Structure formats: C-alpha cells, structure tokens
C-alpha cells in the first residue's frame, strides 16, 4: 500500500525536471572492459597466433571479440537515461540521437510482448503517427510509466498497462483508504 501511495502524484512529489539513469558505474565499467577485451583479442590475433597454433587458440580471440563487441554496442545504443521536463519526456543514449516526445503528442502506451519485453509509446509528430520503444528492464520502470501516465491523462493503454498504471479512480480509492486508516489510528490513541 505504501509503495502505491508513493506512485500517486509522483511528479508533484519528486518534482520536475527529473532524471532516471541506468547505473553509470556499471555502464562505463562494462564499456571500458569490453573495449579492453576487443583490444586484447586483436593483440592476440596479431602477436600470439601463428600457423602452428591450434584451432582452439585461433578461435578464442574471435569469440572474445564477438562477445565484447556485442556488449559495447548494447551499452552505446541502448537507453541510457530518461529525462522528465514540464514540456516533454526525453530518452537519451550514449551513441544515438536523443528522442524528445512532447506530453501533448503522446497517444498510447502498450506492452510489446515479444521475446524481450518493451514498452511502446505511440505519438504524433508532424501529422504522422510514430512509435518509440524502450525496454522494461530499465531501473524504476513502475515510477516511469506512472509518471508518463500522470503527465498524459488523454493517453490510451492496453490491458497490461491498465493493470500497471494507477488509474484516477484507483488513486481516489487509495487516498480514501489512507484517510480511513489515519482516522482509525487517531481514534485508537
């Protein structure tokens, strides 16, 4: 109940502008480690492997390079931070262009239920409908989707998002229950 209470009027409680970030220490450590692994694999290919090396030792640097490159690209191209302002929500990346979506252009929020779970935002830009997707594995996702919902009362939701987002009638019920509980505590004293 207390966690739900924290999600009610979250933008008023936490204030705007506000930023949600992926853990920067982990992100930069992973990037640096991945780049170092790629450099090590390249060094092994040119300095340690020769015609007499076994097939296993010829294969290992390429496997290391593939896995490290995959990690580096994910950290560069996946969502790094979400910025809430009074006018818009901004999705920022390290090596991609940021996406800014004004609050009044958001139309629908839904779950893209594929192998990896994504949240899909549909919005209007220059008289055309656009779609933006971001992963549900981003930290504080419950706060983020409820903040977006609070800033866009006109938005539509799919069945899953209706269960996740605290709707206005649910907010009223939670606040009534909280007042009743406070009244009972006062009477018990």
Per-residue pLDDT of 77-93, as tens digits, reads 999 999 999 999 999 99
Confidence band for 5, pLDDT divided at 50, 70 and 90: low
Q: Residue 126: left if φ>0, alpha if ψ -120 to 50, beta else—which one?
A: left
**106-113 β-sheet, strand order:** 128-135, 117-125, 106-113, 156-157
pLDDT of 130 strictly over 90:
yes
What's residue 89's pLDDT? 97
Per-residue pLDDT, 133: 94
Flag whether pLDDT at 172 surpasses 80.
Answer: no
Spatial CA neighbour of 140 closest among 9, 3, 26: 3
Is-contact 41 61, C-beta < 8 A? yes
What is the distance between the alpha carbons of residues 143 and 7, in angstroms, rounded to a whole number?
6
Cα gap 131→157, rounded to integer Å: 14
Is the pLDDT reported for residue 119 higher than 60? yes
Q: Among 95-99, 151-155, 183-187, whose mean pLDDT is lowest?
A: 183-187
Question: Over pLDDT 90: what percentage of the chain?
Answer: 67
pLDDT of residue 3: 64
Q: Tell me, what's the pLDDT at 144?
A: 94
Question: pLDDT band at residue 141, thresholds of 50, 70 and 90?
Answer: very high
Section 116-128 average pLDDT? 92
Residue 4 pLDDT? 66
Return the half-sphere exposure (C-beta side, CA atoms, 13 A cut-off) of residue 113. Answer: 5
* pLDDT reported for residue 171: 73
**Is residue 98 scored above 70 in pLDDT?**
yes
Supply the pLDDT for residue 115.
80
- State the average pLDDT over residues 170-177: 75
């Amino acid at each position: 109940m207390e966690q739900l209470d924290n999600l009610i009027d979250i933008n008023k409680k936490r204030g705007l502008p506000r930023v949600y970030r992926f853990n920067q220490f982990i992100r930069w450590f992973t990037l640096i480690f991945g780049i170092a692994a790629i450099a090590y694999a390249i060094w092994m290919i040119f300095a340690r492997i020769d015609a007499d090396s076994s097939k296993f030792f010829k294969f290992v640097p390429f496997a290391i390079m593939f896995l490290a490159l995959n990690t580096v690209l994910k950290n560069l191209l996946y969502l790094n931070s979400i910025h809430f302002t009074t006018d818009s929500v901004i999705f920022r990346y390290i090596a991609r262009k940021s996406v800014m979506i004004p609050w009044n252009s958001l139309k629908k929020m839904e779950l893209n239920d594929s192998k990896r779970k994504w949240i899909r935002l549909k919005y209007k830009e220059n008289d055309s409908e656009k779609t933006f997707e971001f992963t549900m594995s981003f930290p504080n996702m419950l706060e983020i989707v409820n903040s977006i919902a609070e800033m866009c009362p006109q938005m539509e939701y799919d069945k899953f998002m209706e269960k996740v987002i605290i709707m206005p009638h649910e907010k009223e019920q939670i606040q009534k229950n909280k007042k009743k509980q406070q009244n009972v505590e006062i009477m018990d004293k």
